[in-house]
Amino acid sequence: MTKKEIVILPKTKRILDELGDHMKLARLRRKLSMEQVAERANISRPTLLAIEKGAPTVSIGSYLLVLQVLGLGKDFLLIAKDDELGRKLQDAQMSTNERAPKRRNL
């Protein structure tokens, strides 16, 4: 079975590259070697290198493991937290002309 090629848009690639850079800087600020972080995250050193380069082929779980080792696991919860566009779309679909159902007296 052949692998499907992952198509990544340039904007998405830039986001992944920036995320990898941020994670590398966080590791360096903590004075942790790649070997230490990889061992603590239970991933291989090449996988950590791929994460720090923003590789789209690395699982999101591996990204989270590294963030947890760096003490940044809660930052993961901020992803898509403020969905401004989704809320606007939801509000646009709400109709104010509909009445609530009548209450029945029992």
User: Residue 98 above 80 pLDDT?
Assistant: no
Alpha helices (runs of H) in the chain, residue ranges in sequence order: 10-29, 34-41, 45-52, 60-69, 84-93
Backbone dihedral region for residue 58 (phi beyond 0: left; psi -120 to 50: alpha; all else: beta): beta
pLDDT digits (tens, 9 = 90+) for 53-63: 999 999 999 99
Q: What percent of the chain stands above pLDDT 70?
A: 92
Question: What pTM does this model have?
Answer: 0.76
Ordered domains of the chain (ranges, CATH):
10-79 (1.10.260.40)
Cα separation, 55 vs 17, in Å, equals 8
Cα separation, 102 vs 69, in Å, equals 55
pLDDT digits (tens, 9 = 90+) for 51-97: 999 999 999 999 999 999 999 999 988 888 888 888 888 888 766 66
User: Residue 37 above 70 pLDDT?
Assistant: yes
